[in-house]
Structure formats: structure tokens, C-alpha cells
Amino acid sequence: MEIKKSTYYTVFVSLLLLSFLLIGLFKNTTAISMVYYPDYPSETQLLLRRIKGHRTTQRLSNPCPDTSNTTRCKPNGNVVFIKTYKTGSTTLRNILNRYGLANNLSFILNSAQPVGHVFKSLKSFPISRLLPPIGVRDGDYRHYKYNMSNVHMRPSLEDLHNLMNPNSVYITILRHPVDQWLSYFQYFHKDDAMRNFFGGNDTNLDPVRTFLNLPAKFMKFKSNARNYQFRDLLEVDTQREDVDYVRERIDKFAELFDLVLLTEYFDESLVLLKRLLGWSFDDVLYLKMREQPQRLRADDEARKQLLEHNRADNMLYSYFYEVLQANIAAYGPSFQDDLNYFRDHLNRTLSECVGASKVVDVAGDHQNIRYDIRQQSSPFCKKFVSYGSSGDVFRRQSNQSGNTGR
């Protein structure tokens, strides 16, 4: 009889321990619902799996539970957009500009730069060089409180918080690491540098492959040309790609941002942004800005090498892809209906407002695709098909003329 009791006790304890183990495994596997490994090398997959052992603290607040009736909601025009390079961020900035112009909002703007970019850290940027908010006297720094920030800068969060209204929403946008790297490489003419320095008379030289095969004496240049998005978000060491460091930074990003948009899921991201801010569908309509007529390409093998070269960006993007999917799931069953409506509305607007396309030369020795506005278009179309909204924001705030900001 004693043997039986001992056996039952052993079996009971074993089953109890097994149940705890299964519960722990279930929690770990459901912490993030979707896994996204777009042709990542196996080593990177292992690193990503180690990072994904925790739940993001990113939240998607919902000021408008009934998305069909936004008139009951109070829209939030206080937005901090940490602008990243070559991610579609100028298109997103244009959306924010249009809303800010329509609602008489004040932007953080460098008074000495034509479209307001700060570029450097606010910590080392004199407040006297900022345009004052609308309705605030120049030099009355105690009242320098802004509705929006959407310029390139090196984020210094404490200084940024002090300049923004207290209920500001923080957002940013990320792009697939390879496509972002290729666009950055091309935009800043690094592909031309490869051709000119190594190509000689060889017009068929592959600048991406040449970069990846750079000899040892160019290692400093090569190691600096990576993880651009990781660098843009906060002051980070782009040379460090160990999992613990990257995970720590991703935790900080997840705590900071109310929403991280993704270029490849731009429409989905804007539906989430509309709900987050309590805006209308009209407010988040967009026309692509800075669209390049010819994109730099890379073959499959080069793309794999670039993913490994931008390992921290790989982990960052993969993490927030899953967060985006979680936010879509949390939105509820109406998400697909709202997305379909938004896309139909966007296509109708493009058909009504947008005319022929053309390739134009723009500042910095670049070429962009731009669109003409259709003749006899509505006043909305004239604002929608505009490539000068950043200049409009700058000029309006420079010529405050006694306006009162919100």
C-alpha cells in the first residue's frame, strides 16, 4: 500500500511539473502571434527567436471605438514623428503637414533651414534657432510648446518631451532592411562612388556586389554603412549587434512609440494611425513623395548578405512587423472593412486629383517621379497634389501674423 501511495505521489508531482512546463511554453509561443522571417539567414533567425521571448509594451489606444462615427471623437493633433531616412517618411510627413496646415498647428522647425530640418540632436541645438509656435513671441522660450515634430533630427528625448504638448503621440516608420539600405545607398550616391572609384570604364559594374566585396582596407567605411534605421531612432551604437544590446534598445523603442508604421504595409499602418489619432479617412489620404524612377536592385545572394550586414535593422523590423500584426488583430473584425474602404477612397481621390506623371530633377542631384494635378480640380485636390507642404508650413509659421495655435 505504501508503494502505491509513493507511486501515485510521484506521478502526481510529475504531472504537475509537466503542466507548469506546458503553460510556460504556451505563454512563450503565444507572446507574439506571428513570426516573420523573410529569407533571413539561419543564424539571424536564431537571434530573432531569442529576442522574441517577451511581449512588447507598445500600445494602440482607441479614442474612437466606433470607427464609423469619428464625429464623436476629439482628434489629437499632437504628434511626434521620429523621421527615418528612405522609408516613405516624406510621404508620412506630408500627411502630417496637411493636417497641421488645416488645423493651424505649430511645428518644431529650424529657422535657418528652408523646410525646418534640425538634423543634429536637440541637446546641442540652441532653442533660439527654433521658430516660435504660432501666437508666441520670439524669445518667449517658456511658452515654446509645439503640436507636431516631423523633421529629421537626432532624437534627444528629454529635450523633445519638454518642447511638445503633454498628450503627444509618438510614431515612426520602418522599412524592410534590404530595401531601405538600397534606397539609402542610391539616394546618397554611394552607388556612384562605387562605380567611379572601382569601375573605371566598366559600365556594367554592380555597385552593391562591389560594396559587399570591399577589401579589408575599406572595412571602416563598410562597417559604418549599416543599420541606418536603428541609428535614426535613438542614440545607439550601430556597431553593436549582440542580442542583449539590440533587445534592450528595442524595449526602449516599444515603450516610446505609440505606433510604428511599416512601409510595406503603409495602408494598414494608416488605418491604425487614423484610429490612434481619432482622425478621418480624408486626413490620412496620401500621394507618394520622393518616388525614384529607377531603383537600385540586388540579386538574391546579395540580399541575403545585406540582411546579415544590417542585422540590428533585421531584428528591429521583424519585431515591429509582429507588433503591427498584433495591433491589426486587436483592432477587431472591422479592420478589413476599414482597410478596403480606405483603399477605395484613396483610389477615387487619385483618379479625381492626379494627372500625368513626369520625372523631375530635385535638390541634391536626384530625380523623382511627380504628378500633375488634374485641370479644374477641387480645392482639396490642390492641397492633396502638393510637393511643397513643408515649405508652406515653414512660411506660415515664419509669418505668424498674430494667429493663435491650439
CB-based contact 147:78 (threshold 8 Å):
yes
At 93-145, the pLDDT tens digits run 999 999 999 999 999 999 999 888 998 888 889 999 999 999 999 999 999 99
Q: Dihedral sign, CA of 311, 313, 317, 323?
A: positive
Q: How confident is the model at residue 297 (pLDDT cuts 50, 70, 90)?
A: very high
pLDDT above 80 (res 404): no
Quote the pLDDT of residue 3. 44
pLDDT above 50 (res 37): no
The one-letter amino acid code at 20 reads: F
At 147-206, the pLDDT tens digits run 999 999 987 888 999 999 989 999 999 999 999 999 999 998 888 888 888 877 676 889
User: Would you list the DSSP string of 127-188?
Assistant: GGGBPPPTT--TT-GGG--BSEE-S--B--HHHHHHHB-TT-EEEEEE--HHHHHHHHHHHT
Say which residue, 400 or 98, is predicted with more confidence.
Answer: 98
The region, left, alpha or beta by phi > 0 then psi within -120 to 50, assigned to residue 24 is: alpha
pLDDT above 90 (res 51): no
Quote the pLDDT of residue 238. 62
What's the average model confidence in pLDDT over 346-375? 90
Q: How confident is the model at residue 86 (pLDDT cuts 50, 70, 90)?
A: very high
Quote the pLDDT of residue 201. 63
Quote the pLDDT of residue 50. 43
Choice among 118-132, 235-249, 363-377 with the minimum mean pLDDT: 235-249
Quote the pLDDT of residue 110. 95
Say which residue, 166 or 345, is predicted with more confidence.
Answer: 345
pLDDT above 60 (res 5): no
**H or E segment and range at residue 190:** helix 190-194
Mean pLDDT for the chain overall = 81
